[in-house]
Structure 1
Amino acid sequence: MLTDRLAPVFEEPACATNRAKTDAQKRAGCKAKGPTPGAAAGGCAFDGAKISLQPIVDAAHIVHGPIACEGNNWDNRHSASSGSDLYRRGLTTDLTELDVIHGGEKKLWKAIRQAVEKFDPPAVFVYQTCVPSLTGDDIHAVCAAAAERHGRPVIPVEAPGFVGTKNAGNRLAGQTLLDHVIGTGEPETTTPTDICLIAEFNIVGDLWQVKPLFDALGIRLLSPITGDARYHEVTYAHRAKASMVVCSQAMVNVGRGLQERWGIPYFEGSFNGVRATSEALRTFARLLVEQGADADLIDRAEALIAEKEAEVQRQMEPYRATLEGKKVLLYTGGNKAWSIVQTLQDMGMEVIGTSVRKSTDHGKARAKDLLHEDKKLFGAIPAGEMFRMLKDGEADIMLSGGRSQFVALNARRPWLDTNQERHHAYAGYEGFINLAKRMSLTLNAPIWEQVHSPAPWEEGYTA
């Protein structure tokens, strides 16, 4: 039953939000603000599951539903690949009105066969969407038969949009990995410094700015879940010695599952900014030593951190004059709600407020410690209030996702994308400098002087 598969996700004990709920609230699930009927794209459980698993780049990802489900979800995050581009293919059963009447299981069977014959992937993920879930298509039976027929895993991802929010879909994707993927393979070799990164999706190459730090310390990234991942790498994540949950609201259940089933310690961390990156490296070094790695790993981590932090300070010099003292409104969520606050403060900027939407209690507490005032922690800000804050000059620049960019631009204030639609990587020490550079360029753009000058028909205009 779908409800039986949803229960472990909705009652996730590692989620602080769920721990605070009553039994009745837990049974209701992650639906504090459910998906909006008729919304064009995003925000539903299917969307969350797809964006969590799609970065497994060599697998085939088939969306079982109307073509709009795949069309509205396809490539809406800039998860980069260093190899296969199969994950960029839009594969769907394209259900129509007739399939609603007659059922779509035969169409799904043919779609799986076509994907296997054309692309020969190591595995196929099949995403259940609202329509076939409501009409009763049994994707578990079809996937089981197809796996036996084609001699490879065909994995059902049961996360129809109506069961909850995008975050619920993230966790359903994580549960799918625990139930069907992790533990089904073995690496050729293991080392005392094997690690797993959870809910790191390699947005525009973020992972590639962090992995060289691990390589320098002799730490092996055994299993990325799921940024730039290959299917077989995910199958043996259970052999890691330590793991880090990068976006805790998305896949904290995977971290807990690895710990409870295989004894792998995990922690919540971030690679946004200098302090967060240094803290993540220190924590990994400590956990790995506790698990049996050489004790000098901690000293080597400290030496690398000192070297990188000194280099960051040197590279920051050209940008300090522009950024020092500037006020920032940060409207994002998740671990970015506190980790980017750290980043901006390290640049000498003042954060007037940060959104703690989708943040855990741990993240909210860290944001409060950094900003020292509850009033600087926001939930959702109405567009009108956001416009007023920017128009009145309470902030010099806003950092957010693309949906709120036009509020800033209408207020004639600089704006920079820090969400998944961005085109620049901001992770690690290198990403810290990238972000400083992009903000400096944005703040110094000549357009701001022009839009704040009198128009030719206004008093005070000079040619």
Structure 2
Amino acid sequence: MSSLRAKIQDVFNEPACESNRGKDAKARKKGCSKPLTPGAAAGGCAFDGAKIVLQPITDVAHLIHAPLACEGNSWDNRGAASSGPTLWRTSFTTDLTELDVVMGRGERKLFKAIREIQEAYGPPAIFVYATCVTALIGDDIEAVCKRAAEKFGLPVVPVNAPGFVGSKNLGNKLAGEALLEHVIGTVEPDDAAPYDINILGEFNLSGEFWLVKPLLDRLGIRVRACIPGDARYFDIACAHRARAAMMVCSTALINLARKMEQRWDIPFFEGSFYGITDTSEALRQISQLLVKKGADPEILGRTEALIAEEEAIAWKKLAAYWPGLEGKRVLLNTGGVKSWSVVHALMEIGIEIVGTSVKKSTVEDKERIKQILKDDNHMFEQMAPRELYAMLSEHKADIMLSGGRTQFIALKAKTPWLDINQERQHPYAGYDGMVELVRQIDLAIHNPIWRQVLEPAPWDCQPAVRDELPSTKSETPTLHVVQEFAGTTADDFGEC
């Protein structure tokens, strides 16, 4: 636990974080995120954050040392995609019981589980995750992993990020520390080249990175390691030989980027592949970093030619949607990097942003939003479901972009909704991704179902009172009324 405490303090004192440098020593110890509320894990704990970062390493076996509930269905907690191996989609857990805890059999059961995975699947590596229960009872997973690695002849990586130590963002950083300590730099590649780069913080949600990688391929730039999206263990182990790195839209792995720059002289920048302008700027900065590291300057000209060609194609495709979307109002109820990267992308095509959530955004994210929107009046830290519903039902937004948790608020308010979070089914990165995002927004807003559901129901329309209707009871009033209304038209009824 002492080593874990040291790692936590280290990531809290991250010198590459601009906002962190401005804090005093006391505030810095509290970290970047709000403290967790006991019993409330909906926002994600440190274990969840570590699993999110490491799970998309597709050829690795991910073993959770915990009671069964900690693993649950978290193997698919994000819509990351793989171009090959499927081992990462198999759930492995030691399934500790009360008797295992009482009798102190946790470490023995963990060692046995590692052996069974090695014999049955033969993966290039096994990642072992500590959790709240196993950390509290004192199981030394680092010692077990070291012994197992020696015994079975494969890397067994301890991921010491039990849920109770902090938030999901802290777990992201602890996962980066595990990669630095046990994976990156352990293998020397025999094909290092001057155009090798790393992409950090890219999860390949719905195959998004597959829309960006062809652009880099056309420039002769090879992605040595994409961490973690569609990654392989060997690629990450060789990542220290890349010449430059891009941190995609997030400060979650900023400690990984900074320490790789310190140890192996790999410069990095933070960029985004959302939107036409940001994608072009990211390609420019990658080329510029490579030139600074010794690549041929001619790549700068080829980059500009590629950008001009791809932007012309993208804007031509977007022109078809412009008349129907210009001036439309969007409420963005997400967080983190999407709170600014998607905002910038949508404003490029004339869409108005009426609000964007900054619940999970860093100080840097918030500053970017202020620069893009020119003020902070459209930023909200947290909006209660009742307030969201009131805003949508009053037609202050034409569509809401959010995650699955709030989709039913939009549907109840009879407002179009589009999934923008990790569960989405469509990729939105790069030039083609931007066109797809706009297409999906256009389909959602102009879906004819909204015109129908906004019309009043027939039973809410009260018929106009007619003088000839019977004023006294008769033996067959129903038949009489039916005869009276036979042949009437909609104009004969009153307004709803």
Counterpart position of 1:173? 175
Superposition pairs of residues 102-251 of structure 1, within 5 angstroms: 102-103=103-104, 104-251=106-253
Q: Aligned with 2:158: secondary structure?
A: strand
Distance 1:377 1:16 in 2: 21
- Which residue does 2:364 correspond to in 1? 362
Q: Could you tell me how far apart the structure 2 residues matched to 1:76 and 1:16 are?
A: 30
**Structure 1 residues 107 and 347, CA gap change in structure 2 (3 angstroms):** same
Change (3 A) 1:110 1:42: farther
Please list the CA deviations of residues 199-240 of structure 1 after superposition, one character each: whole Å capped at 9, or x if unmatched.
Answer: 101111011000000001011101111100000100111111
Paired position in structure 2 for 1:92: 93
Q: What corresponds to 1:335 in structure 2? A: 337
Deviation at 1:30, TM superposition (A): 4.8
How far, CA to CA, are the matches of 2:32 and 2:100 in structure 1?
30
Match of 1:64 in 2: 65
Compare 84-93 and 18-27 and name the one that shifted more.
18-27
Question: Could you say what secondary structure the match of 1:249 adopts?
Answer: coil
Conservation of the 8 A alpha-carbon contact between 1:185 and 1:235: yes
Opposite residue 345 of structure 1, the aligned amino acid is M
The answer (yes or no) to whether the contact 2:19–2:364 under 8 Å persists in 1 is no
Task: Give 1:414's aligned residue.
Answer: 416
Contact 1:35–1:43 (Cα < 8 Å) also in 2: no
Letter in 1 for 2:197: I
CA contact (8 A) 1:45 1:160 kept: yes
Instruction: Provide the residue aligned with 2:473 in structure 1.
Output: none
| Contact 2:33–2:169 under 8 Å retained in 1 | no
Larger CA deviation: 254-263 vs 54-63 = 254-263
Q: Deviations over 1:383-421 (max 9, x none)?
A: 222111111111100111111111211111111111101
For each residue in 1:272-328, what CA deviation from the matched residue of structure 2 results, as whole angstroms up to 9, or x when unmatched? 111110010000011111111111111111110010010001111332222111000
SS at match of 1:248: coil
Deviation (angstroms), 1:31 = 5.1
Paired with 2:73 and 2:382, the residues of 1 have a C-alpha distance of 24
* Structure 2 Cα separation of the partners of residues 306 and 37 of structure 1: 52
Residues of 2 paired with 1:92 and 1:224: CA distance?
Answer: 26
> How far has the Cα of 1:35 moved from its partner?
5.1
The structure with more radius of gyration: 2
CA separation of 1:35/1:272 partners in 2, compared to 1, >3 Å: closer, same or farther?
farther
Three-state SS of the structure 2 residue aligned to 1:224 is: strand
Structure-1 residue corresponding to 2:478: none
| 1:363-387 Cα distance to aligned partner (Å, 9 max, x none) | 2222111111111122122222211
Query: 2:257 aligns to what?
Result: 255
Where 1:195 maps in the other structure, the secondary structure is strand
SS in 1 for 2:418: strand
CA distance in 2: counterparts of 1:411 and 1:277, whole angstroms: 34
Give distance in 2, aligned partners of 1:364 and 1:30.
Answer: 13
Q: Distance in 2 between matches of 1:251 and 1:460?
A: 61
Scaled by the length of structure 1, the TM-score of the pair is 0.97
Q: Which residue matches 1:434?
A: 436
CA RMSD of aligned residues (A): 1.6
How far apart are 1:358 and its partner, in Å? 2.9
After superposition, what is the alpha-carbon deviation per residue over 1:232-253, rounded to whole angstroms, capped at 9, x for unaligned? 1001111111101114231111
Amino acid at match of 2:226: P
Match of 1:371 in 2: 373
Give the TM-score of the pair, scaled to structure 2: 0.90
Provide the rounded CA distance (Å) in 2 between the counterparts of 1:70 and 1:42: 16
Cα deviation code 1:22-77 (max 9, x no counterpart)? 322333445523154164x5610000000100111001100110111111422010
C-alpha deviation, 1:86, in angstroms: 0.3
Matched-pair contact (CA < 8 Å) for 1:78–1:421? yes
Letter in 2 for 1:48: G
Corresponding letter in the other structure for 1:97? E
SS at match of 1:33: coil
* Structure 2 Cα separation of the partners of residues 234 and 3 of structure 1: 26
User: How many residues are treated as equivalent by the alignment?
Assistant: 462
SS of corresponding position for 1:245: strand
What is the CA–CA distance in structure 2 between the aligned matches of 1:239 and 1:62, rounded to whole Å?
28
Question: What are the Cα deviations for residues 63-118 of structure 1, in whole angstroms up to 9, with x where unaligned?
Answer: 11011111142201011000100000011111111122123111111111111111
8 Å contact kept, 1:335–1:363: yes
One-letter code aligned to 2:107: E
Matched, 1:25 2:27: yes
Any unmatched runs of 5+ in structure 2? 464-489, 492-496
Identity of aligned residues (%): 55
Distance 2:15 2:211 in 1: 32
Query: Take 1:143 and 1:35, find their aligned partners in 2: how far apart are those partners?
Result: 32
Task: For residues 99-154 of structure 1, give each alpha carbon's deviation from its aligned partner in whole angstroms, at most 9, with x where no partner exists.
Answer: 22123111111111111111111110000000010011110110000000111110
Q: 1:406 to 1:106 in 2, by over 3 A?
A: same
Task: Return the alpha-carbon distance in structure 2 between the equivalents of residues 270 and 294 of structure 1.
Answer: 24
2:38 and 2:274 mapped to 1: Cα distance?
31
Q: Specify the SS of the correspondent of 1:113.
A: helix
Pick closer, same or farther for the CA change 1:117–1:247 going to 2, 3 Å.
Answer: farther
Q: Judge conservation of contact 1:16–1:360 (CA < 8 Å) in 2.
A: no
The 10-residue stretch of structure 1 (401-410 or 199-208) with the greater mean CA deviation from structure 2? 401-410
